[in-house]
Chains A and B, each alone.
Chain A
Amino acid sequence: DSGVTQTPKHLITATGQRVTLRCSPRSGDLSVYWYQQSLDQGLQFLIQYYNGEERAKGNILERFSAQQFPDLHSELNLSSLELGDSALYFCASSALRTDTGELFFGEGSRLTVL
């Protein structure tokens, strides 16, 4: 158990719809990262938040948005969904300083767009 909690684990929806994925980081971790893993693809970095502020942005579509709340949980909002948005979405958290530089991942939210 990494200590990172993601909900929902599975989500099936239709094209054009909007969904929200939720992530609770490990206790004490201020950084939250969102990654997308599509079929046969690696982990594509979407966005990072640190203590409520956006820290870095990756290949995140304009239809997607995220935020980190004062209690440090984060939400990833996906709107106007397309078939190609079907993927595993991972949240990860990290401490400000680590000896190993590692991320701790949740189990992922599997989104299926029909």
Chain B
Amino acid sequence: DQQVKQNSPSLSVQEGRISILNCDYTNSMFDYFLWYKKYPAEGPTFLISISSIKDKNEDGRFTVFLNKSAKHLSLHIVPSQPGDSAVYFCAARRNQFYFGTGTSLTVIP
């Protein structure tokens, strides 16, 4: 039972443009939503999170939006840089953490 879904396995964006990564979830009881970034041969690293009581959280070039009515989460990266090329996992927390299958972002110079 996949409670967190990332329906786009990959995304390519031109350097300087906006990258939008999407995530859908099914459980309305999740209290925290997180984005992790993973480079090859490394473990996932925390990027940004948002509490279920908020609808937006911003950290530099990264902004996470939460739409609870649609059970939808998105990560915006503006402007995108080649170093942002990685696999991005969204995750949701309720007692344990549930991860999506990841979206591979390629930022083209």
Contact = CB atoms under 8 A, between A and B. Distances in A.
Interface of A: 2, 4, 33, 35, 40-45, 48, 55-56, 58, 90, 92, 100-108
Given A40-B101, A107-B43, 7 more contacts: A40-B9, A45-B99, A56-B95, A100-B46, A100-B49, A103-B97, A108-B43
Nearest to A31: B96
B32 A101 contact: yes
B7 interface: no
B96 A33 contact: yes
In terms of DSSP, what is the predominant structure of the interface of chain B?
strand
B25 to A, nearest CB: 13
B32 A43 contact: no
18 contacts: A33-B96, A35-B99, A42-B2, A42-B100, A42-B102, A43-B99, A45-B98, A90-B43, A92-B43, A100-B46, A100-B49, A101-B34, A101-B51, A101-B93, A102-B46, A103-B46, A105-B44, A107-B42
In terms of DSSP, what is the predominant structure of the interface of chain A?
loop
Contacts of A106: 43
B34 A105 contact: no
B44 A56 contact: no
B96 A102 contact: no
Contacts of A33: 96-97
Contacts of A45: 96-99
B53 interface: no
Interface hub of B2, B4, B96 (most chain A Cβ within 10 A): B96
A103 B47 CA distance: 11
A42 B95 CA distance: 19
